[in-house]
């Protein structure tokens, strides 16, 4: 059953200065699905992820060609405010990066700046987001404590809760478990499974088994090109392209 795409890239090229990091990327990211982007280091998968919420804007001397359509609208149009895009497309990073604030304030930080002021709504938001991130039971009594005192896995779930507090449509995850132990990893993976009910998730991972476990669609990138993109089951049992097969099976040239 195919869902409507929420994000579509059309012939996207991306350059860091003279270096072309992505070549002719065209793909659909379906709504309420988990799409995994895999490939060796430097293949462009993280670059693509950061293109989708315009995080690459922060790097000097980069250039985008082609279109990135979010709900049908090219987010690289000059009149699009990247801040608005990032409110709708949240991101979770490789290393847990909570702010040096309390757990409570980590979550309310962005919503407050976005105009939510009342104590009740903020309290509700904190509880909601932490529950969605399956962290509520662990931290409900220590909301005032610094986020830095949490374990790595808890910090990462806090970062997910923090992103969810903005009620985004899409959640981009850039190797969200690469710094975590297997149990924390399993918790995050389970969380991803639950979150796709309400969010579209795009996850970059170096762990191929993780891609196989959590995603419905997988895109394999190599040297800045999308080599193969399709159902995860197909990619992992019977990919069409030899390069994909070699990578999946651990035959690196």
Residues of span 223-242 touching another protein by CB under 8 A: 234-239
Residues of span 42-61 touching another protein by CB under 8 A: 53, 55, 58, 60
Choice from 4, 11, 26, 209 touching another protein (CB under 8 A): 209
Q: Is 128 in the site for another protein (CB under 8 A)?
A: no
| Least Cβ distance, residue 59 to another protein (angstroms) | 11
Per-residue three-class SS string for the chain: CCCCEEEEEEEEEEEECCEEEEEEEEEEEECCCEEEEECCCCCCHHHHHHHHCCHHHHCCCEEEEEEEEECCEECCCCCCCHHHHHHHEEEECCCCCCCCCEHHHHHHHHHHHCCCCCHHHHHHHHHHHHHHCCCHHHHCCCCCCEHHHCCHHHHHHHHHHHHHCCCCCEEEEECCCCCCCHHHHHHHHHHHHHHCCCCEEEEECCCHHHHHHHCCEEEEEECCEEEEEEEHHHHHHCCCCHHHHHHHCCCCC
Q: Is 138 in the site for another protein (CB under 8 A)?
A: no
Residues of span 83-102 touching another protein by CB under 8 A: 83-88, 90-91, 93, 95, 97-100
Q: Is 250 in the site for another protein (CB under 8 A)?
A: yes
Q: Is 206 in the site for another protein (CB under 8 A)?
A: no
Closer CB to another protein, 163 or 214, in the complex? 163
Closer CB to another protein, 211 or 226, in the complex? 211
Q: Is 179 in the site for another protein (CB under 8 A)?
A: no
């Amino acid at each position: 059953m195919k869902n409507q795409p929420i994000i579509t890239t059309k012939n996207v090229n991306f350059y860091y200065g003279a270096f072309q990091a992505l070549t002719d990327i065209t793909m659909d990211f379906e709504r309420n699905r988990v799409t995994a982007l895999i490939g060796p280091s430097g293949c462009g998968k993280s670059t693509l992820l950061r293109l989708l919420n315009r995080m690459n804007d922060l790097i000097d001397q980069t250039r985008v060609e082609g279109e990135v359509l979010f709900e049908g609208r090219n987010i690289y149009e000059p009149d699009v405010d990247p801040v608005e895009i990032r409110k709708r497309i949240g991101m979770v990073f490789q290393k847990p990066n909570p702010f040096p604030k309390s757990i409570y304030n980590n979550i309310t930080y962005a919503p407050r700046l976005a105009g939510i002021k009342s104590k009740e709504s903020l309290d509700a938001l904190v509880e909601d987001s932490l529950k969605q991130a399956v962290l509520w039971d662990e931290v409900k009594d220590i909301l005032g404590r610094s986020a830095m005192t949490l374990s790595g896995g808890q910090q990462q779930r806090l970062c997910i809760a923090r992103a969810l507090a903005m009620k985004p449509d899409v959640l981009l995850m850039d190797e969200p478990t690469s710094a975590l132990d297997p149990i924390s990893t399993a918790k995050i993976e389970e969380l991803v499974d639950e979150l796709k009910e309400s969010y579209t998730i795009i996850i970059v991972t170096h762990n191929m088994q993780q891609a196989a476990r959590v995603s419905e669609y997988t895109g394999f990138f190599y040297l800045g090109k999308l080599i193969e993109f399709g159902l995860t089951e197909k990619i992992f049992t019977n990919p069409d392209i030899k390069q994909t097969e070699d990578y999946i099976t651990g035959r690196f040239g």
